Structure 1
Amino acid sequence: MSDTGERTVSRRSIDAAWADLFPFDPYPQQTDGVEHVLSVCRDGGYLLLEGACGTGKTLIALVAGTQLLEEERVDRVMAVTPVKQQLKQFVTDLEAINEHRTERDPIAGLVMVGKRDMLPYARVGTLPGDGSVQAVSSELRETTAALIRRDATHELAVQQGDLDGRLDVCSVPDCDRLSYASEECPDHRNDREEDTSWYDPVRAAALCHLASSMDGPRLETAGVSAPYPESPPHTRDVLVDPETTGADAGHFDPFYARFFANEEWVPFGFGESKTNVLTSDTIVRAAVSRGMCPHEAMASLMEVADVLVGNYNHAFDPVTRQLTDEKAGVLDSGTMLVVDEAHMLEERVRDLLSETLGVHSLRTAHKDIALAREYLSGTGGEPGADPSAHRREAQSVLSEFNGIDQTSLRVGQEFIEWLLSAMDDEVTALLREEYTDWQRQFREGSLPEIDHEIPLRDPHVVESDRLTDAASNAFDGTVWREMKSIGAAVAAVHDNDSQTDRTPVADGAGRFLEQWGTANDGTYFREIELEYAPKPTEDTTLPDWATAYNSALSLYNCIPHEPLADVFGDLAGGVLMSATLEPFDVYKRVSGLDRLSDVPDGTEETEDTCRVATASYGLSFPPENRASWIVDLPPFTYRNRGDPVTDYEEMTDARRAHAGAIVTIARSPGNVLLCLPSYAEAEWAVEYLTDTVSKPVLRDRSTESDVTDAMLDRFFRDDETDRVLVTSARGTVTEGVDYKGHRLHTAAVVGVPYANTATPRMKAVMNAYDQEFDAEGFEYAVQIPAVRKARQAIGRVLRGHDEVGTRLLLDRRYRPDAPRSVSTLLSADRTEFSTVSPDMLEFALDQFWGR
């Protein structure tokens, strides 16, 4: 759609069923966009929608999705975005739709978030131990589950009258033990019970009653108080005889128990929110005040929600999908998928599909196997434990794993020893090559604080790596596959042992090693990661370098189009949208969508193929409100720009030219966003500008989100002071952040923000694209994503009809006639830009702002 500057279209004039779903009169491109989405998704297809900032893409997708829900063509809509700001926009737009739906039932909306935000004890920081939230919360839940199991024999310290008549005693004469939800106590039960659920709701209610009866301050979060203590209670606080718990002893989670005490019923619904959209804070307040686990409540409500809003993990991460797919069952052929900021999809999913396994996890897995072998031999166990009991339980468990025996465990243990030794050799060789006497430099504090990649094969070719090859020579070639079964068996031995509370890692390690040995060589790149992380250690069994570095095996996904195609193929179609998707033909290939739509010559479409269409909308705001220029400067490349010095006389000619241009731009009226190719170059620009311009100069760094938010608050502060914000074009503040109104007047991108192509990992990525897409590796994997970054950055300026601003690209490679030009990749934006010489830049800016 061309830049017409058209205003809105009256909803009354739109002859379409969806018109009254729109919360206000739509813009022409929104009307057209909704029709495009409906046309494609009614056939179960996917629409690639590129729309400039301010197009209203979230409303387009939500209104179309709501209409498809009304038509019962889909069961639910799932919208995913990698940007928190955009997640909030989905919520805002969904709330606006509901506020407008006065004559229809409101849409049930729910925001999906991770455990850290949804588990009460994680929110207030009182989880026991120092493990990850995932690991510690799993331990709490396992202990809770052991206490509330229907076949549990632990006697809870409750009395018959404690639960308003729900507690009863065993029906067997002369037995006074509590029977909870059954007629008989655990000692007298048989198989006559019809209820086969694994948990006992009365035991769960009794556990919650005991937790709520404990002394001490209550947990408080999200503005509400819970009925339970602020720290997780312990089994010793709730059992008649704590010594009987054995491996089940430990802290437990009464919020989790309450979910089962309610028999998996959530005592609140979408009406808890005035807008019928449940955010994480709303769910936490409603659940915690009732003593229930917010995470379990969220998972249950997901099943009945009309619209789900979350991040990429919920749709594409194999681990997180256990919540959305396996547990709640909301990723299926009835789900319409909306992917926001879809230009990031390839990069983010590549990271989600990559795996690492650290040295410490390998060592722990080795100990898991060693202890399991001791149990099986009758020699293991803590002092005072019964070795014969260990042996009986371990043998019983191992008998359930076909082909896994003592010999298998010995081989698995020896294999991990070999891996640890091989990793030690690789790391030692690298450090000697890089630093010669690295130990001396480390002691003196002169060792560079940088991380390293150790590639295990030539990244330019597709071949097996030297670690896998060496393992095949030292062991049977099937050892990688066997490690998955070995790890699972060892984990089961520990999990089922009644005398220990060890949390094994052998299962996860075994799965990783199996994937390492079987994953496609072209799709995955194998290397060793070395992270600079100095720390004291007295463990003499660790290599010397462990005091300075962490080391891990890395299985890096280079090209994720096949897993993406699998996800898309399972769903009911949808929308992938961004301000920067073009070139569409390339996007279809790298996202895997071409695999769903391609039909071989001479064949007909089948139910396994689907339609993939495109739609593109440029800026619909008045053209006279903006100026777009390519500044004819030398390429700002690593080779041209030289060292990032701030002394003008010491700069290369290319750096001097760009330094002069960014000073001119920084002095122009209003707030200015300067985007350099990297954070290191952004540091240079900040240092240079601080001494040459009168405006405050803010530095954006790669840091925590709360620090970035605080920095943006300073930039947006409405105090009549203009500011300059300097960042990396590959950073976070150039995408998804809303610079609406008078927050931003000029955005400038210095150079073409290419990723570092010198790393082994990036070389492997380019090679993978070369192999898959006929020698287009640099263009597909590096060049197109870089130009999308630049387009995203300049798109921050104009967000509405009344906004005025300038957009600048500082590098002649953006010109259509330049060597190594990237002009064609600017897509629709390229028609907006004219070229200005550096000596005319100040005049051009003065002319625009002084008109």
Structure 2
Amino acid sequence: MATTDDYMRFFPYEEPYDHQREAMGTIREALGDERDVLFEGACGTGKTLASLVPALEYARETDKTVVITTNVHQQMRQFVEDARAITAQERIRAVVFRGKGSMCHIDVDYEECQALRDTTRDLVDKEQDVADLERQQGDLLDQAQDGDADAVEARNAVMDELRDLEDDVAEIREEQSICDYYYRNLTTDTTEFYSWLFDDVRRPDDIYEYAHERDLCGYELLKEGIEGVDLVVCNYHHLLDPTIREQFFRWLGRDPEDVVAVFDEAHNVESAARDHARRTLTETTLESAVDELAESDDARADAAHNVIATFLSALRTAYEDAFEFGQREEVGEHWEDLAIANEDGRDDLTLGFLREYTGPGFHEELDQALKLGRELDEQYEEAFKNGETDTRQECQTLQAAQFVSDWLAESDDLGQYPVVSVRRSDEGQGDVYGRAELYTCIPSNVTSDLFEDLHAAVLMSATLRPFDVTEDVLGLEDAETMAYGPQFPEERRRTYAVDGPALFASERDDPETQDVVAGVLEDAARMTPGNTLAFFPSYAEAERYHERVATDARTYLDEPGTQARDLRREFVDDDDGVLFTSLWGTLAEGVSYDGDDARTVVVVGVPYPHLDDRMDAVQDAYATAFGGDEEAGWRYAVEIPTVRKTRQALGRVVRSPEDFGARILLDKRYTEAAGMEMRDYAVRGTFPPEERSEMIDVDPEKLKFAMLNFYRDVDGYDGEPPRP
């Protein structure tokens, strides 16, 4: 078994914290036992290094690769810095991997890229064969000139083959599309690139710029160079998307059992897995498939047309029947779900398809559609390779047939929620059209196979508890669990639960309620020696109080669809600002507000997600899978994820031992009294015990005095404190 000294060679600083050393030992032992690890650590616990250090040592000793993955861009940048610090002390070969779309020099989609890549490689192979044959004929010519009669005959055969190959090369160059960047990858010496790549830890932007300056394809060079590396930094989709994952492991030259995965911000794996599992098919794709089949003279086209056209008709009927009075006219440019699920049987779309379908059998006709679709797809690829088309055409028949087959087989499975959505084309000005979607409610349907296949995984986050819920939802078995609370001095932080109105959606328009909330926010901003972060259940509520709160501080409003990075930069450069944003936006987690970037954070209300039919389906699926009652469904699907979001927001302040700050929960459901007065709605009990123990209940009108005392105790004010 490895000793502490074995993995400490990868620790890039003088000494780890005591809890870090303990965590590294636990993780190292778990990896040796091929056990997954659930690691919760508050900000400042050094989770990344505590996970990476033993993982790298274990991988080095057992010839494995460590993959660290996140869905937060800022964390990706932090991983690069940590990896650079490690490799400066103990050399490791590390790469940072990003999707093709952001690294392509000619801006083509994935299918076109693959076709160009295959044609280019075919050209280079043929040119290499031409060069080999030219050398052969030259040698044979020398032998023939020396009187070797057999060499003359052999050279004639080589020359015939050489002329054929030269014709093939000329045809490809004249009639087919290739990628010049990838061509240079294959025909020039790239040793210098790999020396540069592994001399440090390079960011994807660095790789793109380096390759672009030399007319090379950095993405393909990276793919060719990551085999057998020590560490890969990548996005979630490289592991959560089954198709990408298979290719990714192939590029690594590793089987899944040879990979140790570290998931950062792992509380997000649940929702990310759902996103990667969802499958959709639009009405326009179905229409294109019907048109494609109408132009085909293949004998299978009629059968394929029959089954796909029937599904198209059933989709249109399903959404038209689902519209309530006046709803069709209100449809805009964003997808809107329509309820088609039935409690007693199959969904309305499936029932409509079964009613409308006539023919020898839809299973048989779908099978013919799939076979024809695959052949058409191959023909389109060949046409693009041969230069007959400028772009790589997608086979609409194949996409439609595969989705319809999946829908009819799986739409009534446990954990699958069939959805029909509608939107209006031409940015909300055109016709209404529909989309069918298979929405996966239970993430373990996606993740359990992944975690079973990997050698082991470390899932780390500041908000993973309750561990048993995380294990159930993600399909983990017998995971090692550990949790470390805040490691900074408790006297330098305060957490207040303000006994203000319970901000149920039905109460938010009440003028008295708004007066109390606005007053608390005004007091918080006035008593804070620096910036204040205010998180709301929605962007609409953030905008409401941005307009209502009266403060001398400069106010900032985060709005949906806008670039939050610039807003954040402007806010942290201020020293007396208030930022109004949604807890479900991009600024509530994975974003650091260090030191005086933000001193106070306020979470206004209990930010439950929008409880629509889709969320009801998740609750029902969780209730069936994890307890058999509605209470379990609500707890797993709604309450715990919501409290995790709240805890993430609270973690935006107090991020170092020297830092200080106040965290405010503005809603009586957070108070201790709520557990007795309104038990069904109280949420305090969902927080971990040590976090509950720090919460101080306070009346709205007394918050300003509590904050004054706290910030004065930590010498937070420059000069005279504000008057309460």
Which residue of 628, 631, 647 maps to 2:495? 628
**Residue 750 of structure 1 pairs with residue 604 of structure 2:** yes
What CA deviation, in whole Å up to 9, does each residue of 1:506-526 have, x standing for no partner?
323332222222225222111
Aligned to 1:695: 553
**Residue 258 of structure 1 pairs with residue 212 of structure 2:** no
What CA deviation, in whole Å up to 9, does each residue of 1:240-292 have, x standing for no partner?
xx4xx3xx4xx431112233335xx8534654157532321332244334433
**Residue 831 of structure 1 pairs with residue 693 of structure 2:** yes
Report if the CA contact (8 A) 1:50-1:577 is conserved: yes
Report if the CA contact (8 A) 2:117-2:182 is conserved: yes
Residue 168 of structure 1 deviates from its aligned partner by 8.2
Aligned to 2:153: none
**Residue 116 of structure 1 pairs with residue 80 of structure 2:** no
Q: 1:580 to 1:30 in 2, by over 3 A?
A: same
Write the distance in 1 (CA, Å) between the matches of 2:667 and 2:214.
Answer: 59
Which residue of 327, 339, 355 maps to 2:279? 355
Aligned to 1:661: 520
Aligned to 1:444: none
Aligned to 1:488: 374
Q: 1:484 to 1:328 in 2, by over 3 A?
A: farther
SS at match of 1:656: helix
Residue 822 of structure 1 deviates from its aligned partner by 1.4
The residue type equivalent to 2:10 in the other structure is L
Q: 1:462 to 1:46 in 2, by over 3 A?
A: farther
Q: 1:134 to 1:848 in 2, by over 3 A?
A: same
Aligned to 2:23: 33
Q: 1:468 to 1:712 in 2, by over 3 A?
A: same
The residue type equivalent to 1:491 in the other structure is D
Aligned to 1:529: 421
**Residue 48 of structure 1 pairs with residue 42 of structure 2:** no
Residue 409 of structure 1 deviates from its aligned partner by 2.2
Write the distance in 1 (CA, Å) between the matches of 2:672 and 2:370.
Answer: 54
What CA deviation, in whole Å up to 9, does each residue of 1:398-436 have, x standing for no partner?
xxxxxxxx1x32121122222222222233344563347
Residue 333 of structure 1 deviates from its aligned partner by 0.6
The residue type equivalent to 1:673 in the other structure is L
Which residue of 343, 357, 361 maps to 2:267? 343
Residue 144 of structure 1 deviates from its aligned partner by 3.5
Write the distance in 2 (CA, Å) between the matches of 1:301 and 1:547.
Answer: 48
The residue type equivalent to 2:56 in the other structure is T
Write the distance in 2 (CA, Å) between the matches of 1:346 and 1:763.
Answer: 16
The residue type equivalent to 1:20 in the other structure is R
Q: TM-score, normalised by structure 1?
A: 0.74
Write the distance in 1 (CA, Å) between the matches of 2:135 and 2:325.
Answer: 72
Q: 1:79 to 1:450 in 2, by over 3 A?
A: closer
Q: 1:274 to 1:560 in 2, by over 3 A?
A: closer
Aligned to 2:217: 293
Moved more, 510-519 or 482-491: 482-491
Write the distance in 1 (CA, Å) between the matches of 2:178 and 2:69.
Answer: 33
SS at match of 1:835: strand
Report if the CA contact (8 A) 1:313-1:352 is conserved: yes
Q: 1:448 to 1:260 in 2, by over 3 A?
A: closer
Residue 847 of structure 1 deviates from its aligned partner by 1.2
Report if the CA contact (8 A) 2:308-2:401 is conserved: no
**Residue 413 of structure 1 pairs with residue 339 of structure 2:** no
What CA deviation, in whole Å up to 9, does each residue of 1:415-468 have, x standing for no partner?
2222222222233344563347x3xx8xxxxx766642123213xx48422222
Report if the CA contact (8 A) 2:322-2:339 is conserved: no
Residue 708 of structure 1 deviates from its aligned partner by 1.3
What CA deviation, in whole Å up to 9, does each residue of 1:19-40 have, x standing for no partner?
2322222111211111111111
Structure with higher helix content: 2
Mapping 1:466-477, distance limit 5 Å = 466-473=348-355, 474-475=357-358, 476-477=361-362
Mapping 1:722-761, distance limit 5 Å = 722-757=576-611, 759-761=612-614
Mapping 1:12-161, distance limit 5 Å = 16-24=5-13, 25-72=15-62, 74-101=63-90, 106-122=91-107, 133-141=109-117, 143-144=119-120, 147-148=123-124, 150=126
Mapping 1:390-469, distance limit 5 Å = 406=299, 408-431=300-323, 433-435=325-327, 438=329, 451-458=335-342, 461=343, 463-469=345-351
Aligned to 2:399: 508
Report if the CA contact (8 A) 1:270-1:277 is conserved: no
Report if the CA contact (8 A) 1:534-1:549 is conserved: no
The residue type equivalent to 1:120 in the other structure is H
Aligned to 2:624: 771
SS at match of 1:529: strand
Report if the CA contact (8 A) 1:482-1:514 is conserved: no
Write the distance in 2 (CA, Å) between the matches of 1:815 and 1:532.
Answer: 45
SS at match of 1:433: coil
Report if the CA contact (8 A) 1:109-1:308 is conserved: yes
Write the distance in 2 (CA, Å) between the matches of 1:552 and 1:168.
Answer: 61
Aligned to 1:674: 534
SS at match of 2:595: coil
Residue 559 of structure 1 deviates from its aligned partner by 0.9
Q: 1:151 to 1:107 in 2, by over 3 A?
A: closer
Q: How many residues align?
A: 676
Report if the CA contact (8 A) 2:260-2:456 is conserved: yes
The residue type equivalent to 1:89 in the other structure is Q
The residue type equivalent to 2:279 in the other structure is E
Report if the CA contact (8 A) 2:318-2:340 is conserved: no
Write the distance in 2 (CA, Å) between the matches of 1:37 and 1:465.
Answer: 46
Q: 1:435 to 1:507 in 2, by over 3 A?
A: closer
Residue 146 of structure 1 deviates from its aligned partner by 5.9
Q: 1:696 to 1:331 in 2, by over 3 A?
A: farther
List runs of 5+ in structure 2 lacking aligned partners. 145-156, 714-724
Write the distance in 1 (CA, Å) between the matches of 2:352 and 2:204.
Answer: 49
- For the aligned residue pairs, the C-alpha RMSD in angstroms reads 3.2
The residue type equivalent to 1:116 in the other structure is G
Q: 1:484 to 1:834 in 2, by over 3 A?
A: farther
Q: 1:118 to 1:45 in 2, by over 3 A?
A: same
Write the distance in 2 (CA, Å) between the matches of 1:328 and 1:427.
Answer: 45
Residue 345 of structure 1 deviates from its aligned partner by 0.5
Report if the CA contact (8 A) 1:481-1:517 is conserved: no
Aligned to 1:793: 649
Q: 1:184 to 1:619 in 2, by over 3 A?
A: farther
SS at match of 1:764: helix
Aligned to 1:566: 449
SS at match of 1:320: helix
Q: 1:751 to 1:255 in 2, by over 3 A?
A: same
Q: 1:272 to 1:427 in 2, by over 3 A?
A: same
Identity among equivalent pairs (%): 30
Residue 571 of structure 1 deviates from its aligned partner by 0.9
The residue type equivalent to 1:100 in the other structure is Q
**Residue 577 of structure 1 pairs with residue 464 of structure 2:** no
Residue 546 of structure 1 deviates from its aligned partner by 8.7
What CA deviation, in whole Å up to 9, does each residue of 1:647-686 have, x standing for no partner?
xxxx443333222212221222211110001111111121
Q: 1:567 to 1:435 in 2, by over 3 A?
A: closer
Write the distance in 2 (CA, Å) between the matches of 1:430 and 1:747.
Answer: 43
